[in-house]
């Protein structure tokens, strides 16, 4: 890890890390793949699955069968089911607090105004299987959708060279009653979910992490469908001082470095701690020396990391200054690992500084709101004059007539 001061120009590189070197090249490749999927459907899916995943499938083989799911149960640790029950309860407890209730108000003139909250009808969930199958992402993405009331949940994940999806991913999805599972990955999977093919009907929203091509594909199909966020490599910022336990800091930064392309960062006002951490960690990442803890928080807000650990005394005191982070972990016994797997909130979080405007995956990602407006004649008459004046100002004659005709 490299030690830099808060005055270093390298901070700008960290703040602007979302700028990809090969962006144009990736954009063009993804654009071509998506166009092929839109025009040729299953045929293009088969072609790209053979090219990128090195396995030849037929359209019928794209969907995971019941027999494949049954076989998957034979290849997993049977303790998975009991372990999953604990996680499900934690996630349910967290997201039950987030559920929004529809509401309506009615005034003395009979005017009704309100908002109705409705679950999306269908959602596609992308589960990567590159460096390691992200089994935990299955329940972290599926459960909020289930709790929100989504009826059709579709899961896509790249097949191995034998044409199989990881058995733990299959079992996890089956236990959570995912409706459909398909053996497709990459930008082509995103295209199938967005535009639909003969085998894979389109969905309303796509969620889940992926590589640069998957992320770019999600960005390009936004508008045809909704997406959760535009994410990049995973990242962690730790704020610590001379009273923080260096063993915990080193362990957490090493844990972050296990992910390919990840960004581990320590921000501290302690030179001694910075030197100790640098000696123990031989990996990518930065140690940023700040003047004090308040400045450390300010730097973290500029970075807007996916994960932010505050490993100082009384971390709650500093929480009020945090503006931008996907998830905040308070104190020495809240490592990122607990959030990744069992705490309750989803670990599908904004990265690359997008925590400035994106949020972690939640119930609201799977719900849309519908405004309700119901006026009586008396209520319409009360607003008739200002309504007509504003319409006349904009020059829409038929809009104006649609109000006047009701009083003729």
Residues 14-20: contacts with CB under 8 Å, at least 24 apart: 14/263, 14/265, 14/286, 14/303, 15/302, 15/303, 15/353, 16/353, 17/232, 17/263, 17/352, 17/353, 18/232, 18/352, 18/353, 18/354, 20/212
Q: Say if residue 259's pLDDT is above 90.
A: no
Structure tokens at 212: 């640069």
pLDDT in tens, 151-205: 999 999 999 999 999 999 999 999 999 999 999 999 999 999 999 999 999 999 9
Tell me how far apart the alpha carbons of residues 252 and 229 are, in angstroms, rounded to a whole number: 25
Give Dmax (Cα) for the chain.
85
Rounded Cα–Cα distance for residues 86 and 238 (Å)? 28
Mean local confidence (pLDDT), 264-291 = 94
Structure-token pair, residue 82: 């009991």
pLDDT at position 261: 82
pLDDT at 20 over 70: no
Residues 6+ apart with CB under 8 A from 43: none
Residue 34 or 408, more confident:
34
Confidence of residue 374 (pLDDT cuts 50, 70, 90): very high
**Token reading at 316:** 């709650």
Q: What is the pLDDT of residues 66-104, one digit of tens each?
A: 999 999 998 888 888 788 888 889 999 999 999 989 999
pLDDT at position 33, please? Answer: 97
For the chain, list the domains and their CATH numbers: 2-18+233-343 (3.40.50.1980), 23-227 (3.40.50.1980), 375-407 (no CATH)
The DSSP output letter for 64 is P
Residue 55 near residue 161 (C-beta atoms within 8 A): yes
Give the pLDDT confidence score for residue 76 in this predicted structure: 84
Q: Name the more confident of 310 and 22.
A: 310
- Residue pair 220/237 in contact (Cβ under 8 Å)? The answer is no
User: What's the pLDDT at 17?
Assistant: 86
Active site residues: 306-307
Query: What percent of the chain stands above pLDDT 70?
Result: 99
Q: Are strands 367-374 and 122-126 parallel, antiparallel or unpaired?
A: unpaired
Residue 360 and residue 92 in contact, taking contact as beta carbons nearer than 8 Å: no
What value, to the nearest 5°, has the Cα angle with vertex 261 and ends 259 and 267? 85
Question: What is the DSSP code string of 10-32?
Answer: HHHHHHTTT--TTHHHHHHHHHH
CA atoms of 129 and 380, how far apart (whole Å) = 58
Task: Please say if the pLDDT value at position 11 is more than 70.
Answer: yes
The per-residue pLDDT for 81 is 79
State whether residue 264 is helix, strand or coil. strand
Q: Percent of the chain having pLDDT more than 90?
A: 84
**Taking CA 372 as the corner, what is the angle to CA 366 and CA 375, rounded to the nearest 5 degrees?**
175
DSSP, residue by residue, 102-167 = -EEEE-TT--EEEEEEEE-SEEEEE---SSS--HHHHHHHHHHHHHHT-SEEEEE----TTS---H
Q: Specify which residues 328 forms β-bridges with.
A: 308
Average pLDDT across the chain, whole number: 93
The pLDDT of residue 21 is above 70: no
**pLDDT band at 32; cut points 50, 70, 90:** very high
Give the residue-averaged pLDDT of 32-59: 95
Predicted confidence (pLDDT) at residue 132 exceeds the cutoff of 90: no
Predicted confidence (pLDDT) at residue 131 exceeds the cutoff of 70: no
The pLDDT-based confidence of 231 (bands split at 50, 70, 90) is confident
Q: Is the pLDDT reported for residue 22 higher than 80?
A: no
CB atoms within 10 A of CB 392: 12
Is-contact 207 348, C-beta < 8 A?
yes
pTM given for the model: 0.91
Say whether pLDDT at 350 is over 70. yes
Burial class of 96 by CB neighbour count within 10 A (0 to 12, 13 to 18, 19+)? exposed
Confidence of residue 260 (pLDDT cuts 50, 70, 90): confident
Q: Does 133 or 136 have the greater pLDDT score?
A: 136
């Amino acid at each position: 890890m490299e030690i830099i001061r808060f005055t270093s120009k390298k901070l700008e590189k960290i703040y602007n890390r979302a700028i990809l070197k090969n962006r144009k090249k990736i954009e063009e490749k993804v654009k071509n793949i998506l166009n092929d999927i839109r025009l040729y459907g299953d045929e293009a899916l088969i072609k790209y699955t053979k090219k990128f995943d090195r396995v030849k499938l037929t359209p019928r083989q794209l969907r995971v069968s019941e027999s494949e799911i049954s076989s998957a149960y034979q290849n997993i640790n049977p303790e998975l089911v009991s372990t999953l029950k604990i996680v499900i309860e934690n996630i349910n407890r967290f997201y039950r607090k987030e559920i929004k209730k529809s509401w309506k108000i009615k005034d003395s003139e009979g005017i009704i105004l309100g908002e109705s909250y409705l679950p999306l009808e269908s959602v596609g969930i992308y589960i990567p299987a590159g460096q390691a199958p992200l089994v935990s992402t299955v329940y972290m993405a599926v459960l909020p959708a289930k709790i929100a009331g989504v009826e059709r949940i579709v899961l896509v994940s790249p097949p191995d060279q034998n044409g199989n999806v990881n058995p733990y991913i299959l079992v996890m999805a089956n236990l959570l009653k995912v409706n459909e599972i398909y053996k497709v990955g990459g930008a082509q999977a995103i295209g199938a979910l967005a535009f639909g093919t003969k085998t894979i009907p389109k969905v309303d929203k796509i969620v889940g992490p992926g590589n640069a091509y998957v992320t770019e594909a999600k960005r390009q199909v936004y508008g045809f469908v909704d997406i959760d966020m535009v994410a990049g490599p995973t990242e962690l910022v730790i704020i610590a001082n001379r009273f923080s336990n260096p063993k915990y800091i080193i362990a957490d930064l090493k844990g972050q470095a296990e992910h390919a392309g990840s960004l581990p960062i320590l921000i501290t006002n302690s030179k001694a701690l910075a030197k100790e951490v640098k000696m123990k960690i031989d990996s990518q990442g930065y140690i940023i020396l700040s003047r004090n803890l308040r400045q450390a928080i300010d730097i973290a807000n500029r970075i807007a990391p996916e994960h932010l650990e505050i490993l100082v005394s009384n971390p709650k005191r500093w929480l009020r200054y945090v503006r931008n982070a996907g998830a905040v972990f308070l104190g020495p016994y809240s490592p990122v690992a607990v959030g990744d797997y069992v705490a309750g909130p989803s670990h599908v979080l904004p990265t690359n500084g997008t925590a400035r405007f994106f949020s972690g995956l939640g119930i609201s990602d799977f719900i849309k709101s519908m405004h309700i407006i119901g006026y009586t004649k008396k209520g319409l008459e009360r607003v008739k004059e200002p309504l007509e004046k504003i319409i006349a100002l904009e020059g829409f004659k038929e809009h104006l007539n649609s109000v006047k005709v009701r009083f003729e």
